[in-house]
Amino acid sequence: MNDFHVIAALLPPCYEPRLRELWPRRPQELRLLEGRPVTVRLPGGEAALLPPLTQGQLEEILQRACRFSSYAYQETLCQGYVTLEGGHRLGVCGFGVVQAGQVTALRSPTSLNLRIARAIPGCAGTLVESLKVSTLLLGPPGAGKTTLLRDCVRLISNGGQWVGLADERGEVSAQMGLDVGQRTDVLLNVPKAEAVMMLLRTMSPDWIALDEITAPADLRALEQAAYCGVKLLATAHADGLEDLQRRPLYRQLTALGVFDQAAVLRPDKSYTLKALQLPTDTQNGRWPGGSK
Amino acid sequence: MRMAGVVLIILSASSVGFRIARGLGKRCKLLRQLLAALTLLKQEIGMCATPLPQAFALMAVAADGPLETLFSVAAREMDRNRWASPLVAIKKGLTQTPELPEGDPATQTLLELAARLGKYDLESQLQGIDLASMRLSEELSRVERERSTRSKTYQTLGICAGLALAILLM
């Protein structure tokens, strides 16, 4: 099943002809809101698909995205998303069910955001030549971090080095449907911090790759891996090195010194490679609870 | 020639009785297999969070005969068509399983379970499977009782009816 069919199969059939017309323009995401037309975000514009969606249709789209097996996606649904085959991500907004302070379910979706993933083999061709040391891929949402990470992993792996890929959401490997190289061990659906440690202990990788550093636990795992002689490749949401220094979690990350360089992505899909300098006031700093 | 005719009448009447008795045995086997399939479904959902299309495919592999057809058709339907809910997929499978006709208590139980599958959280799914298993166990007990009490009766009736017919025609 190709990407178009995966996406079109989720929507009510009345939207298929118009979506088929728009598909060659490479849509980036579909915004589905109750009582609103479907908005298709395209490079340099938007298009609307009529008629407006009803709440029942949103519910059905979510059911279909879960293959009528919502229990199988409970973990990620509680975090507000479902990963589809092909690596596409369906973000979910609705009424949260909270028990003991934890979100246990999302019911009655009010809006959905379908981000369309695309593998672009060869997009990291020039970057991979500079990947001799641990590297952080930085960019704002939609800059193509995951696409670049996937291709870096593929090229490093096919170049003869073993890569351990901690793919918590299954988006990098698109649940193994996308090529991530012949020497890549993929650990799926395991929280990143645990996955890094499991890969380190069991698979003896030369590189460990992970998408989106988001939690202090990720930093702890990266620190342990870095000091075991493994090179790291990861992505982070930041609009440049200055932005990286402004966010507390990423300030701690740079203070650890586990990454030697950063590739800063721009919205036009170009990137600049910059050395990561330790901030002078935190050169020997550690984040709370670190085990250095 | 006449003796051959008599023997043929007795044999054919007896075979009807034996076929009815064997039908009860087959029904018991089908219900036991259905119970085993639901146990597998419960394990797949509860332990591995396997999505329903894959779970149905695994149930088809584990079963044989009519249930293999039922679950493989359901798995294929859900895999091929994202619009197909578990209920639609099971209904499609049942159209190719004459052993589970419409109105049959086991068929009803299966349809009720299919209508519930995939809609709620894990706990509700498992409760639904438990309820279906309980109903199927009750049906199995009833059929087994019927088999133990009536199986011999049907066989004897078949032979006796054959003999009676043969005597009348002689």
pLDDT for position A278: 55
Q: Region B94-103: what's the mean pLDDT?
A: 91
Q: Residue B35 belongs to what domain range?
A: 2-169
SS3 A45: strand
Spell out which residues of chain A touch residue B78, defining contact as CB-CB under 8 Å.
67-68
pLDDT for position A289: 42
pLDDT for A90-112, tens place per residue?
999 988 888 888 887 788 899 99
pLDDT for B14-43, tens place per residue?
788 778 877 788 889 999 999 999 999 999
In a domain, A153, yes or no: yes
Q: Residue A51 belongs to what domain range?
A: 3-115
Same domain, A141 and A85: no
Closest CA to B27 of B100, B95, B93, B96: B100
pLDDT for position A267: 75
Same domain, A210 and A85: no
Query: Of A115, A149, A176, at which residue does a domain stop?
Result: A115
pLDDT for position A1: 62
In a domain, A288, yes or no: no
In a domain, A278, yes or no: yes
Q: Within an 8 Å CB–CB cutoff, is residue B59 touching chain A?
A: no
pLDDT for position A205: 94
Look-up of token digits 């988006």: A171
Spell out which residues of chain B touch residue A68, defining contact as CB-CB under 8 Å.
52, 78, 85-86, 117-119
Between A64, A70, A71, which is nearest B82 by CB? A64
| Cβ separation B49–A70 shorter than 8 A | no
Domain count along chain B: 1
Same domain, A263 and A217: yes
In a domain, A240, yes or no: yes
> Taking the CB of residue B153, how many other CB atoms lie within 10 A of it?
12
C-beta of residue A206 within 8 angstroms of C-beta of residue A231: yes
Q: For A262-280, b where at least 16 C-beta lie within 10 A, e where not — what string?
A: bbbbeeeeebeeeebeeee
pLDDT for position A290: 41
The secondary structure of chain B in percent helix, strand, coil, rounded to multiples of 5, reads 85, 0, 15
Query: Of A81, A115, A149, at which residue does a domain stop?
Result: A115
In a domain, A292, yes or no: no
In a domain, A121, yes or no: no
Same domain, A139 and A105: no
pLDDT for position A142: 76
Torsion of CA A66, A69, A74, A79, to 10 degrees: 10
pLDDT for position B163: 84
Return the bridge partners of A38, or none: A49
In a domain, A166, yes or no: yes
Q: Give the gap in angstroms from C-alpha A238 to the nearest C-alpha of chain B.
A: 35
- Which of A100-114, A267-281, B57-71 is predicted least confidently? A267-281
User: Per the confidence metrics, is the pTM higher than 0.90?
Assistant: no
Contacts of A176-179 with C-beta under 8 Å, sequence gap 24+, read: A177/A85, A177/A86, A177/A87, A178/A86, A178/A87, A178/A119, A178/A150, A179/A119, A179/A121, A179/A154
Q: Give the gap in angstroms from C-alpha A226 to the nearest C-alpha of chain B.
A: 32
CA distance A262 to A244: 10
Same domain, A31 and A164: no
Same domain, A92 and A182: no
pLDDT for position B157: 83
Query: Of A115, A135, A159, at which residue does a domain stop?
Result: A115
pLDDT for B116-159, tens place per residue?
887 777 888 899 999 999 999 999 999 989 888 877 787 788 88
Residue A292 has pLDDT above 70, yes or no: no
CA distance A36 to A111: 10
Same domain, A213 and A277: yes
Residue B170 has pLDDT above 80, yes or no: no
Same domain, A97 and A162: no
Look-up of token digits 């590189």: A207
Return the bridge partners of B158, or none: none
Same domain, A86 and A157: no
> What's the CATH code of the domain at A274?
3.40.50.300
Q: Give the gap in angstroms from C-alpha A72 to the nearest C-alpha of chain B.
A: 5
Q: Give the gap in angstroms from C-alpha A69 to the nearest C-alpha of chain B.
A: 4
pLDDT for position A277: 62
| Cβ separation A68–B121 shorter than 8 A | no
Q: Within an 8 Å CB–CB cutoff, is residue A278 touching chain B?
A: no
Domain count along chain A: 2
Residue A158 has pLDDT above 90, yes or no: yes
Burial of A289 (0-12, 13-18, 19+ CB in 10 A): exposed
pLDDT for position A273: 87
Cis peptide preceding B51, ω within 30 of 0: no
Between A67, A71, A104, which is nearest B125 by CB? A71
> What's the CATH code of the domain at A7?
3.30.450
Q: Which residue of B has its CA nearest to A60?
A: B83
Between A67, A74, A104, which is nearest B78 by CB? A67
Cα-based angle A159, A163, A169 (whole degrees, multiple of 5) = 130
pLDDT for A19-47, tens place per residue?
999 999 989 899 999 999 999 999 888 99
For residue A119, name the pLDDT band (cuts at 50, 70, 90): confident
Same domain, A131 and A107: no
Same domain, A110 and A131: no
Q: What percent of chain B has pLDDT over 70?
A: 99
CA distance A283 to A264: 22
In a domain, A270, yes or no: yes
Same domain, A271 and A147: yes
